[in-house]
Amino acid sequence: MSVRAWRAEPYRDALRAGQGPLFLRRDDGWLLPLDVERWCGAPDSADVTVLARCRGSVLDIGCGPGRLVAALAALGTTTLGIDVSQAAVDRTVQEGGAALCRSVFAPLPGEGRWGTALLMDGNVGIGGDPAALLVRVAELTGPNGMLIVEAAGHDIDERVDVRVDDGRGARGAAFPWARAGTRALLGYAETTGWVTEDQWKTAGRSFLQLRRR
C-alpha cells in the first residue's frame, strides 16, 4: 500500500514540477508540509555536513529526486539511490545519479557491503516502524557500516497512518508512517545494534551518525 501511495499523482506531479504544495495528511486533518523545493534543489548547508561524513559506497534510502545521490556521484563516490516512486528515480537519473525503483525491504544490490546508508528528509518513517527499518539497514551495510539519519526537529515518537496530499483535493492511499526526534532515535539505535558516533544540528535540521556495533 505504501508503495502505491508514493506513486500517487500528488507526489509524482510535485516532483516533476519541482515544487509543492505537498503534505502528509493524517485522518484527523493534520498536515505535515513536505519541502519539495528543497528536495529538488542543490544540496544545502545542512546536506553538506552529511555529504562530508559519508564513507565508502553510499546507499540513499528514499532518495527522492536525488540531490544527494547526484552530489556524491559528482564527487566520484559509488552511490545508489532507491525510491518506490518512478518519478523520483527518473529525476535522480536525469541529475546524473544512479537509482532503482525499489523498496528498502526488497532485495537490493550490494546487501551487507554498503559503507554508508542515508535516511534523510524524514525517511526514518518509512514503513511506520523505525526499529524495523534500522534492523533492515544494518543488514544492508557492511561490517562497521555507518548510517546517517535525520531526526524530526522536535521531541516526538509517533506512528500514524497518512496520505500524500497536495492541499487542493488530490490525495493518495493511506499508508503507515513514523516520526522520531533525536531522543527517540537514540533509543531505537541502542536496541537495534547501532552505536551513536555523533549528533549535530545545523540550519534547523537534526542528524545522528550511527555505526554498526
Cα–Cα distance for residue pair 171/150, rounded to 1 Å: 26
Q: What pLDDT, on the 0 to 100 scale, is given for residue 39? A: 97
Retrieve residue 90's grid coordinates.
527518473
Q: What pLDDT, on the 0 to 100 scale, is given for residue 8? A: 56
For the chain, residues with pLDDT lower than 70 are 1-8
CATH of residue 206: 3.40.50.150
Q: Is 56 helix (H, G, I), strand (E, B) or coil?
A: coil
Structurally, the chain folds into a number of domains equal to 1
Identify which of 185, 191, 192 has the alpha carbon closest to the alpha carbon of residue 209. 185
Q: What pLDDT, on the 0 to 100 scale, is given for residue 9? A: 84
The residue segments making up the domain with residue 129 are 2-212
Q: What pLDDT, on the 0 to 100 scale, is given for residue 136? A: 98
DSSP for 65-129? T-HHHHHHHHTT--EEEEES-HHHHHHHHHTT--EEE--TTS--TTTTTEEEEEE-TTGGGGGG-
Q: What pLDDT, on the 0 to 100 scale, is given for residue 169? A: 87
Hey, how many other C-beta atoms are within 10 angstroms of the C-beta on 108?
19
Cα–Cα distance for residue pair 171/34, rounded to 1 Å: 14
Q: Is 60 helix (H, G, I), strand (E, B) or coil?
A: strand
| pTM above threshold 0.85 | yes
| pLDDT tens digits, one per residue of 117-156 | 999 999 999 999 999 999 999 999 999 999 999 999 999 9
